[in-house]
Amino acid sequence: MEKEFPIKQIIDGNGNLIDSTFGSEITEELLKELYTKMLRARTLDRKSANLQRQGRIGTYAPFEGQEAAQVGSASALEKGDWMFPTYRDHAATLTFGHSLSTILLYWKGRVEGCVPPEGKNIFPPAVPIATQLPHATGAALAEKRKGSDRVSIAYFGDGATSEGDFHEGLNFASVFKAPVVFFNQNNGYAISVPIEKQMNSKTIAQKSVSYDIDGVRVDGNDVFAVYFETKKAIEKARKGEGPTLIEAVTWRYGAHTTADDPTKYRDQELSAEKRKLTDPLLRIERYMEKQGVWEEGWKAQVQKQCEEEIEKAVVEMEAYPEADVNDIFDHVFEEPTWTIKQQKEAFLSMKRGETV
C-alpha cells in the first residue's frame, strides 16, 4: 500500500526541488510567506512551553515539528471556510485567523481561547478524539445545501483513525459527497503507543479506499507538498467532487503535552536526528539558499518581529480582565433555566457576603 500511496514531496530535506510541477508557483513571496508563518508558529510554541514551565499557563500541547503540516494546509483555505482543529493545531488556527493571545488564553484556562474573531469559522479545539470529523462533514453539508462553495477541513492525529467517529465522519462525507478535507497529521505516536500498535495498515491514506474517496500521502514536513495537495483537495471539494483524506507524515520533537515524558517511550536521539534531516523550517532555508534568496539578516528580522508580536500577546494574555464568574452560568442555554438562575444567584450572593 505504500506503493499505491507514495509520500509526495516537492522539496526534500536537503532543500532540493524534486517535483517541478509547482516550481513556477513557488515564488519568493510565497516562500517567505509560508516560512514566516511557520517561524511565527514555532516561536509561539516554544514560548508557550516556557510559559508553562514558569507556571504562567497550564498544561500545554506542543507541536514543534508539525508546522509545515498545519501552516501548509491552513494556508490553502479561504475566508468563509470552516476549520475543525484539535487542541494541538495552533499553527493551523493561527494561520487561519486566531490571534496569538486567544491561543495563549486557551492554555491559561480561559474559555475566551475557544472564541474565534468575528466572521472566522474556527471551531473550538476538539478535546475528545475524532469527534470533530462528523462536525466538519455536517458543516460542509450545510454549505453545500446553501449552495455556497465553502468547504470544511478537519484536523486529527494518527490515533484518531482508530476511533469510530473517524470512520463515521468519512463514511457520511463519502455518502453525501460533502465538501470536506480530512487532514491527518501522522506523527507516529498516540501519546506513547506507536503506530504499529495503533493499526496494521501500512498507511492512513489507504483508509480512503474503503470509502471510495480520494486519499493522498504527503511529506508533512514539506510545506509546499502540504500546501499544494491541500489546495487541490479543497478545489475539488469546492467543485462538488467530494471529500479527500490527506495523510501528512510528520514528526513532533516534543512530548504529547507538557505533563508527559517522551523519553519513556521514544528515542530522543532519533528525534534529534530527524530534526537535522527533515525539519520543515530548515529545508525551506536550504531551498532558499539554493535559490539564492536566503538572507540571514531577513530571518533575524522575521524572528525579531515574531518575538515582539508574541511578547505583546503574552502581555495581552496576562493583562486580560479576570475571568468573569457569570460566564459559568450565562452560556449554558440562550435563556438560563431556573436551576441555573437559582444556583447563580445563591453563589453570587455568597461571594458578595465573603468580600463584605
Partner 1 sequence: MKTMADVKTNKLTLVQAVTDGLRTMMKEHDDVLVLGEDVGKNGGVFRATDGLVDEFGEDRIVDTPLAEAGIIGTSIGLAINGFRPVAEMQFLGFIYPAYEQIMTHASRIRTRTMSRFNVPMVIRAPYGAGIRAPEIHSDSVEALFTHMPGIKVVVPSNPYDAKGLLIASIEDPDPVLFMEPMRSYRSIKSDVPEEKYTVELGKGAKVTEGDDVTVIAWGNMVAVAQKAVEKIEKEQGVSCELLDLRTLYPLDKDIIAESVMKTGRAVIVHEAPSTGGVGNDVLSIINDNAFLYLRAPVEKVAGFDTPIPFFSLEEDYLPTPDRVLKSIENVVTF
How many C-alpha atoms does 57 have within 13 Å on its Cβ side? 30
Q: Which 72-91 positions form the footprint of partner 1 (CB under 8 A)?
A: 82
Among 124, 209, 298, 303, binds partner 1 (CB under 8 A): 124
Cell numbers at residue 114, please?
Answer: 475557544
Among 19, 168, 260, 309, binds partner 1 (CB under 8 A): 168
For residues 201 and 207, is the Cβ–Cβ distance under 8 A? yes
Query: Which listed range, 56-64, 125-133, 218-226, 288-296, lies at the site for partner 1 (CB under 8 A)?
Result: 125-133
By beta-carbon proximity to partner 1, the closer residue of 128 and 240 is 128
Among 116, 199, 206, 260, binds partner 1 (CB under 8 A): 116
Backbone angles phi, psi at 251, to 5 degrees: -155, 130
By beta-carbon proximity to partner 1, the closer residue of 24 and 333 is 333
Shortest Å, Cβ 277 to partner 1: 39
17 strand-pairing partners: 11
256 noted as active-site residue: yes
Q: Does 331 bind partner 1 (CB under 8 A)?
A: yes
256, 266, 283, 286: which is the annotated catalytic residue?
Answer: 256
Taking the C-alpha atoms of residue 113 and residue 32, their distance in angstroms, rounded to an integer, is: 28
Q: Does 115 bind partner 1 (CB under 8 A)?
A: yes
The residues near 2 (Cβ < 8 Å, ≥ 6 apart) are 202, 203
Does residue 245 sit in helix, strand or coil? strand
Taking the C-alpha atoms of residue 88 and residue 155, their distance in angstroms, rounded to an integer, is: 9
Among 138, 157, 159, 215, binds partner 1 (CB under 8 A): 138
Taking the C-alpha atoms of residue 286 and residue 296, their distance in angstroms, rounded to an integer, is: 12
Indicate the length of the chain as a whole number: 356
Among 103, 141, 181, 237, binds partner 1 (CB under 8 A): 141
Taking the C-alpha atoms of residue 308 and residue 205, their distance in angstroms, rounded to an integer, is: 39
Positions touching partner 1 (CB under 8 A) are 82, 111-112, 114-116, 123-124, 127-128, 131, 133-143, 145-146, 152, 164-165, 168-169, 171-172, 175-176, 327, 331-334, 337-339
- The set of catalytic residues is 252, 256, 265
